[in-house]
Every structure is written in C-alpha cells, then in structure tokens.
A and B are shown apart, each in its own frame.
Chain A
Amino acid sequence: MSLALGMAVGSAVGIWCGQVFVKAVRTLSEMSATSAAANFAFLQYKYADLQHARQALIFGAQFLDDVDAIHTDRASKIDAALSYGRLALLEESAGNRKQSQAYFAKAQERLKAASKSKSDCSEAKVREILQKRDRF
C-alpha cells in the first residue's frame, strides 16, 4: 500500500518533470536551430555570390517554415518572412521579376500570420523592414 502510494505520487511528479524537461530541451534545441538557420541565410545573403546566397535563403526559409508547420511559432514566421523578403530582393537584383514577386507574396503572408493586429504587411513595408534590419 505504502509502496503503491509512493509510486503513484512519484510517477505523477516524474511525468510532470519529464514533460517540463522535454519541452525545455526541445524549445532550446529549436531556438538554437532556427537561429543558426536564419543567421546562415542572412550572412550568405550579405556576403556570398548570387547562387550561394539564393541556396542559403531557400534552405533557411524552408527550415523555418517546417518548424512553424510542426507547431505554430511566431518567431519562425517572422524569420521566414525576412528570408523570403531577402530572396525577393535578391531575385529582383538578378532581374527575375516574376520570382521576386512570388517571394514578396510569401514574405507578406508570413508577416501577416505573425502580426497580432491588422498591421501593414504590404510589399513596401517588407522592403522598409529589411532596409532597417540589414543596414550596417
């Protein structure tokens, strides 16, 4: 009886602690991974040639979209919006207007999904955000 009582209480506490632990480890791991993917995409966009920058941005945006698809994550949405916005600017500078428009649409869509209120998510806004963030 005492053993069963102890086990019941112990397992309840163990399950709760286990859930907290798993959640913390997964959150930390996802945060590190999304930050690594977003940084990689941004630095390649900033310093690499067209082909490598494009490849890195697509990889980053895809990974951030995947993380967001598994469980909705506002930070991943914003980072994905920035990656798509940079892809749009990259394609624009390469003269691929149609592709650029498609990426701008994706950026706007992610930004809209991440916004709490009805804030401005126009193409001009995406350009403005990127201009501010990428300025250095």
Chain B
Amino acid sequence: MHPVIKKIVVHLLMVLTGLLLGFTVGFYGVNFYKEWSWNQQSSPEAARVRAALPTLARLGLMEAYVLKEKDLPGALLAYRDELSSIKQQPQSGEFREAVSLGLGFVYLRLASWAQQNGQEAQAGPFMTEAKKELRSIGWKDVSDAALSAALDRRLKSWPCCAEKSKQ
C-alpha cells in the first residue's frame, strides 16, 4: 500500500475510534450526570416524585400497553404477574391501591376474554379475583353487572379502543 494512503487510512481509523469513544463517553456521561443531579434535588416535591415515579410510570406504561393489546390474554397474564410482584414489594406502600386497581381491571378483562371465548370455567375465578381486588380498595358496587359496565366504560374512554369499538 502507498505510504500516503496508509497514513490516510490510519488517521481515518483514529478519527473513527475517537468518534466512537467520544460518543460513548458523552452519551453515558450525560445520562449519569442527569441521573446524579436528579437524585441531588433535595426539595420535598422532588423526593416524593422520585419515590412515586418508578411504580406509577410502570403502571401507566403497562396499562397503556394492555389496553391497546385488547385481544391478548398472554399480555394480560404477564401484566397480572408484574402487578402482583409490584404489590408484594415493601416500597409499594402508598401505591398499593393504585396497583390493586390495575390488577382489578386486568382480572376483569381476563374474565371478559374467557367469557367471550367460551371458557366459562376460567371466567368465574378471574371475576372473583377482580371483585376481591376492587372491594379491597373501597369499591361500593362489585356486582357482575356493575363491573362489566365499569370495564366497558374504561375501554371506551381509551382512545385506541374507542376507535376500534366505533369501527
């Protein structure tokens, strides 16, 4: 290889290595710094948001996913397992009721799915679990009719499901 070309190639390789190194350091450095500065905020508001954000964000994201994927019992079961594990964590404390509400709706949707697919034997236990969760957070009426109506309204209030039900 011509020495000039060789030199150019070596320089290019060094530039590329530098780019890669710089990008990695810059990208992770900013992430680390932002996380660190977020944890340094000492106001009571920031402390409360820091404590609540992970659980509530997970709850919100999973709910959005599950409401969108309305025909997937697998997704609902995975969501139920995830919520159950969050509920058992000691730090879930004051969010336990929000998690119970999520669980209640997951069981309601599972019961509704089982009924629609002719699996009555499964629908019963799911409905029982839904009632247990929702009664534990103070729901006044946990009759089958009231819960079905609540689920129906909830799905209709969700934009993507409302669109689907209109179609």
Contact = CB atoms under 8 A, between A and B. Distances in A.
B46 interface: yes
A19 interface: yes
A93 to B, nearest CB: 13
B67 to A, nearest CB: 10
A41 B30 CA distance: 35
Given A30-B57, A47-B140, A6 B30 contact: no
Contact of B150 (A28, A35, A47, A65): A47
Contact of A2 (B15, B52, B150): B15
Nearest to B138: A52
Interface in A35-57: 35-37, 39-40, 43-44, 47-49, 51-53, 55-56
B82 interface: no
Contact of A11 (B22, B43, B94, B150): B22
Main secondary structure of the interface of B (DSSP, over half): helix
A47 B139 contact: yes
B139 to A, nearest CB: 5
Contact of B26 (A6, A15, A33, A39): A15
Contacts of B139: 47-49
B60 A33 contact: yes
Given A11-B26, A19-B30, A6 B48 contact: no
How many residues of B sit at the interface, in one of the four size bands? 35 or more
A2 B18 contact: yes
A63 B95 CA distance: 11
A43 B101 contact: yes
Contacts of B59: 32-33, 36
Interface in B21-39: 21-31, 34
Interface stretch (A66-74, A79-87, A106-114, A123-131): A66-74
A18 B46 CA distance: 22
6 contacts: A3-B17, A6-B16, A19-B34, A22-B34, A56-B97, A66-B49
Interface of A: 2-19, 21-22, 28-37, 39-40, 43-44, 47-49, 51-53, 55-56, 59, 62-63, 65-67, 69-70, 136
Interface of B: 11-12, 14-31, 34, 41, 43, 45-46, 48-49, 52-53, 56-61, 63-64, 94, 97-98, 101, 134, 137-141, 150, 153-154, 157
